[in-house]
Structure 1
Amino acid sequence: MPSRRIVLAHLAAAGCAMPSFAQDDKSPVKLLVGASAGTDFTARVIAEKLKDSLGRPVVVISKLGAGQQVALGELKRSAPDGRTLMLVTSAPFSIYPHIYQKLDYEPLKDFTPIAGVSSFDVGIATGPATAARDMPQLVQWIRSNPKLAIYGSAPGTGSLSHFVGISLGLAIGQALTHVPYKESPVGLVDVSTGRLPMMMTGLSGMIELHKAGKLRVIASSGSQRSPLLPDVPTMTEAGVKVNTTSTVGIFGPAGMPPEVVAPLTKAIIAIASTPEYRDKLAIYNVFPKPATPQELSAVLGDEYKQFAALVKASGYTPE
């Protein structure tokens, strides 16, 4: 008969579908979030289902500040045991290295990719300061009023919204002046009252004002129309060659063992592949995008190159 040690070894191998926590250890897994609104909501949707897979609580902890860098700092300092994870948008990996002279982390070395979960784009809204009701009219207005071509972005400098404005300027050959906003509601009010010609930010925050006729959502920045406003074209469909999105993934600290990463990847991808997940995320204009660690790394690598080219072509001065 096989020895007790051999039997236990086989049981351990069979049970590796979950991270290597002790059976009596029911301490929670922390899922950090460094951004608000749709990102925080996505984290909570995943956490609710992930707790069932892990058999332990999964607690979402918001650590806002410095464009997710506060939360990334905590993740970097955490033990690589699967107890601390973070849901991160791609900006800290694809944009920040090109615009900040010094970062407190190394994007490729200090974190372990676990799974891709979603992507999002932004909407472009105009208001009373411009008569533009679609993208061709906005392009014409910008070219006719270059000194007035001012756009707001939230959450401001270094965000996807900021770079959608840069991309628009490059695509039409007329640079736009950028005004950063920490929060989108303030900028959207400025658009609706005519103090600001246009705003680039998350589409979900624009819906109510758009339907009330206080501003006009004229396009979205990604490759597919939003289910929130299916009649609003993408920028590419509207004749402006801009296709800019942000990938969202879950990461752990550097040095996580494969036997800890693999079951987390499997569980998270399973959650992100369900119709329920898709339907819940739709209210924030967030699209499911399940991906393996290798696929997530490849997408982030492509975004890194895209934004490197944007920064260089725009002449944007790193801070």
Structure 2
Amino acid sequence: MKRIILLVLATSFSIISGLAFAYPTKPITIIVPQAPGGTNDIVGRVVAQRLGEQMKASVIVENKPGAGGNIGTQYVANGSKDGYTLLMTISSAQAINPALYKNPGFDPVNDFIPLAMIGSVPNVLVVNPNFPAKNLDEFLKLVKSKPPETYQYASAGNGTLNHLLGEMLNQSYGISLQHIPYKGVAPALNDLLGGQVQIAFASLPSVLQYINSQKLIALGVSSPKRSPILPDVPSISEKVPGFSGSLWIGLFAPKGTPKPVVDKLQKEMQLTLANPELREKLQASGVELVNMTPTEFAKQLQDDIARWAKIVKTSGASLD
């Protein structure tokens, strides 16, 4: 009996070792649980291309948006655990949704294995050029002087980071901007550019081209310090002390993925993110690269879950 058990264990180990050695033997799919055109989609496609080159494999990106990122995240959590379906997600989905939804359908810590933190991205408070305020001082004075809900701000959806940043500004500065949720960043930006709504918080990569072409005006960034991409745009915290909220982007594997495969993916992502061309491309789009180990990334996720749970509770935001 003992010899049979040892034989089974040895055979299992051999299969797993063989899987890791051969991996990958077919295309790897990275699920982005947000709509096309947003920061995660933009960064995901750039990283997927370079990761594929690094691994000499086909790495494709598939968007599965819905429910603030829950649908795509659930898909990966409940899917195959062989290293061929991965999750590229953002902090608003992985760290905020567990507090926002009564049942998000996944456990952000126990259902996933962190592979790599890619970087952090500030949100930008942007306005349509027809908006009467042209800088942060003018904006804060204007909205403070008007009755509640005189002005509306767009977001990519209820519970997204750009929604909660607006609520944070309302609370921190004693104003009352009316929230207008959209189904993704693309339709929100379309209406912002068209003037149907005049204010939005949006991630830097998703609006940088419009800021550079003067189709939108950047008033402030949500990071504690100014972005090197927009050095003349103040941090909102310069005028509203304590205001801060950046987005991080990371790659995860579903829990249960064989350790040799996880180890290989973590190593390949380190090499991918060290590529000078990729780093230059990401930084130029407004992504601040973060040098963080998978263990440190796991700790960051847990810290952010606790932090955003308090903010969601204070805001009163809740989704079924």
TM-score (norm 2): 0.83
Matches within 5 A, 1:48-197: 48-127=49-128, 130-184=131-185, 186-188=187-189, 190-191=191-192, 195-197=196-198
Q: Distance in 2 between matches of 1:308 and 1:161?
A: 16
Which is further off, 194-203 or 184-193?
Answer: 184-193
1:196-250: per-residue Cα shift (whole Å, max 9, x none)? Answer: 3421112344345445555421111113433443311221234443110121111
Asked whether the equivalents of residues 84 and 252 of structure 1 are also in contact (C-alpha less than 8 Å), the reply is yes
Residue 242 (structure 1) aligns with? 243
Question: Deviation at 1:256?
Answer: 2.4
Residue 309 (structure 1) aligns with? 310
2:282 alignment partner AA: L
1:230 alignment partner AA: P
Question: Deviation at 1:31?
Answer: 1.7
Asked whether the equivalents of residues 68 and 158 of structure 2 are also in contact (C-alpha less than 8 Å), the reply is no
Question: Any idea what SS the aligned residue of 1:88 has?
Answer: strand
Question: Deviation at 1:43?
Answer: 2.1
Asked whether the equivalents of residues 95 and 158 of structure 1 are also in contact (C-alpha less than 8 Å), the reply is yes
Which is further off, 302-311 or 63-72?
Answer: 63-72
Residue 20 (structure 2) aligns with? 20
Identical counterparts, % of pairs: 29
Residue 285 (structure 2) aligns with? 284
Question: Any idea what SS the aligned residue of 2:68 has?
Answer: coil
Asked whether the equivalents of residues 155 and 181 of structure 2 are also in contact (C-alpha less than 8 Å), the reply is yes
Residue 3 (structure 1) aligns with? none
2:304 alignment partner AA: E
Asked whether the equivalents of residues 126 and 218 of structure 2 are also in contact (C-alpha less than 8 Å), the reply is yes
Is 2:264 the counterpart of 1:263?
A: yes
Asked whether the equivalents of residues 126 and 200 of structure 2 are also in contact (C-alpha less than 8 Å), the reply is yes
Q: Distance in 2 between matches of 1:123 and 1:189?
A: 16
Question: Deviation at 1:185?
Answer: 5.1
Q: Distance in 2 between matches of 1:53 and 1:193?
A: 41
Question: Any idea what SS the aligned residue of 2:308 has?
Answer: helix
Asked whether the equivalents of residues 247 and 300 of structure 1 are also in contact (C-alpha less than 8 Å), the reply is no
Q: Distance in 1 between matches of 2:160 and 2:207?
A: 17
Residue 44 (structure 1) aligns with? 45
Q: Distance in 2 between matches of 1:232 and 1:84?
A: 39
Residue 6 (structure 2) aligns with? none
Question: Any idea what SS the aligned residue of 2:236 has?
Answer: coil
1:32 alignment partner AA: I
Residue 6 (structure 1) aligns with? none
Residue 30 (structure 2) aligns with? 31
Higher helix content, 1 or 2: 2
1:22 alignment partner AA: A
Asked whether the equivalents of residues 151 and 197 of structure 1 are also in contact (C-alpha less than 8 Å), the reply is yes
When residues 191 and 49 of structure 1 are mapped into structure 2, their CA distance, relative to the original with a 3 A threshold, is: closer
Asked whether the equivalents of residues 273 and 290 of structure 1 are also in contact (C-alpha less than 8 Å), the reply is no
Question: Deviation at 1:259?
Answer: 2.4
1:85-140: per-residue Cα shift (whole Å, max 9, x none)? Answer: 11111222211111111221122221121111122121111246753222222222
Asked whether the equivalents of residues 152 and 181 of structure 1 are also in contact (C-alpha less than 8 Å), the reply is no
Q: Which runs of 5+ in 2 are unaligned?
A: 1-9
1:159-213: per-residue Cα shift (whole Å, max 9, x none)? Answer: 1111110111122123432111224454445445654342111234434544555
Give me the CA root mean square deviation: 2.9
